[in-house]
């Protein structure tokens, strides 16, 4: 039982490049979410999903896309990276979004 896994751990992008951050969970959780953590800003919700085929926007969705084709996977796509997207990204999963969420180890993204 690996819990929540994220790849890659580190990534450097140039402005305008695109990439996908991968997230997978093996706990059969319906709810999955993406957060970004910036210094002094805490954890801010980007997008979330309450089940396969269902996604919705969080607090800071601009510049990010998500899809949920399976229960296990919830990738986060940056279509055209900007320096403002330099951050640490965490994926989380839970049975329901309003209770204990289990976090992955994070992806540290730098956009130059």
Partner 1 sequence: DQQVKQNSPSLSVQEGRISILNCDYTNSMFDYFLWYKKYPAEGPTFLISISSIKDKNEDGRFTVFLNKSAKHLSLHIVPSQPGDSAVYFCAASEDGGSQGNLIFGKGTKLSVKP
61 binds partner 1 (CB under 8 A): no
Phi/psi of residue 83, nearest 5 degrees: -55, -30
Phi/psi of residue 98, nearest 5 degrees: -100, 15
Q: Give the residue, chosen from 45, 52, 67, 72, that forms a contact with partner 1 under the rule CB under 8 A.
A: 45
Distance from C-alpha of 89 to C-alpha of 80, rounded to nearest angstrom: 16
Of the two residues 32 and 111, which places its CB atom closer to partner 1 in the complex? 32
Of the two residues 41 and 79, which places its CB atom closer to partner 1 in the complex? 41
Distance from C-alpha of 56 to C-alpha of 50, rounded to nearest angstrom: 8
Pairing of strands 107-111, 10-13: parallel
Compute the least distance from the CB of residue 92 to partner 1, in Å.
Answer: 8
Contact set with partner 1 (CB under 8 A): 4, 33, 35, 40-45, 48, 50, 58, 90, 92, 96-106
């Amino acid at each position: 039982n690996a819990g929540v896994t994220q790849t890659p751990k580190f990534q450097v992008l140039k402005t305008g490049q695109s990439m996908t951050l991968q997230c997978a969970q093996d706990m059969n959780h319906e709810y999955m979410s993406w957060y970004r953590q910036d210094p002094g800003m805490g954890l801010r919700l980007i997008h979330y999903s309450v089940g396969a085929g269902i996604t919705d926007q969080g607090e800071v969705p601009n510049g990010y896309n998500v899809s949920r084709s399976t229960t296990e996977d919830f990738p986060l796509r940056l279509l055209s990276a900007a320096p403002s997207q330099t951050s640490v990204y965490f994926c989380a999963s839970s049975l329901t979004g309003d209770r204990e969420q289990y976090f992955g180890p994070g992806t540290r993204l730098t956009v130059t």
